[in-house]
Amino acid sequence: MIGIPTGAAPCLPIIHINVVDVIWKIVRLHFDRTLFDAVLCLNGAIDTDVIEQYFSNVPIIAADGAANTLYSRGIIPDMVVGDLDSVLDDTLEAVRPYSQIVQIVDQDITDFEKSLRVSQSQLWNRVLVTGLHGGDLEHTLNNWSVFYRYAQTQPLTILDGNRYVISVVDSLLVALQPGEIVSLIPQPSARISTSGLQWNLDDESLEMGIREGARNRITETEARIQIHQGSLLFVFNARLPFAPVLSD
């Protein structure tokens, strides 16, 4: 064995540690006059005045019984999709000459999901969904589940009254009006930090059944929502007829 020379420091192994900075993907929410590819009406409360005012030249998909509401207000959908157990015979016969009837009898998926699949087959990617609420509570809850699942890969927007709802999985920069009410609804949980809101979060968790993030308020011309983990639904004022766009 060769000894260490007297007075010399021992030769210790050099350990290289690579420090990797975590870079969060950030997208910007904006409205650049992008229009929706289609409007999908579910069999709930539908504001037909909005459809007549803003979407007369946009393809309208009626999910089964939604065709009854549309037809009663003089709106002929471009497509009626579903197992057709809710649409009235009189409605179906009246719209048949003008609408494409797509009957899908698969009972393992809902009319909402069937309609989304049809919209994808038509390459209608940016879809506005209305009529989510109304009728049985289980239908509404199931609609939320379907929306959340499909919105992971398709830019879907819910129109609820005068509010938009979108699914957000990346950190977000938003330039909305100071004073505007926004909500951050975890799906089902999210760990986030925010700036530019009245009640900001600092690496805090939101979780369904434990802590939600409803009814916050924009205070700056640009707000930041940093998602460390999870995903959420972002609720804000509608900008009809324009679609919300998320871009790098």
The model's pLDDT over 152-192, given as tens digits with 9 standing for 90+, comes to 999 999 999 999 999 999 999 999 999 999 999 999 999 99
Distance CA 55, CA 59 (A): 8
- Reported confidence tier of residue 248, pLDDT bands at 50, 70, 90: confident
Tell me, letter by letter, the H, E, C secondary structure of 57-109. Answer: CCCEEEECCHHHHHHHCCCCCCEEEECCCCCCHHHHHHHCCCCEEEECCCCCC
Residues 6 or more apart whose CB falls under 8 angstroms from that of 145 comprise none
- pLDDT value at residue 1: 38
The answer on pLDDT for 5 being more than 70 is no
Average pLDDT over residues 210-231: 95
Examine residue 11 and state whether it is found in any structural domain, yes or no.
no
Q: Which residue has the higher pLDDT, 136 or 36?
A: 36
Predicted confidence (pLDDT) per residue in 19-57, tens digit: 333 455 789 999 889 999 999 999 999 999 999 999 999
The answer on pLDDT for 98 being more than 70 is yes
Give me the residue label for tokens 């709802």. Answer: 165
Number of domains in the chain: 1
CA 158 to mean position of chain CA atoms: 7
User: Which amino acid, residue 224?
Assistant: R
- Reported confidence tier of residue 139, pLDDT bands at 50, 70, 90: confident
Examine residue 19 and state whether it is found in any structural domain, yes or no.
no
Average pLDDT over residues 98-118: 96
Examine residue 2 and state whether it is found in any structural domain, yes or no.
no
Indicate the average pLDDT of the chain.
Answer: 90
- Reported confidence tier of residue 226, pLDDT bands at 50, 70, 90: very high
Examine residue 187 and state whether it is found in any structural domain, yes or no.
yes
Examine residue 17 and state whether it is found in any structural domain, yes or no.
no
- Reported confidence tier of residue 120, pLDDT bands at 50, 70, 90: very high
With beta carbons less than 8 A apart as the criterion, state whether 171 and 83 touch.
no
- Reported confidence tier of residue 4, pLDDT bands at 50, 70, 90: very low
Range of the domain at 147: 26-247
- pLDDT value at residue 7: 52
Taken as a whole, the chain contains a residue count of 248
> Residue 66 belongs to a domain with what CATH number?
3.40.50.10240
Examine residue 3 and state whether it is found in any structural domain, yes or no.
no
Examine residue 81 and state whether it is found in any structural domain, yes or no.
yes
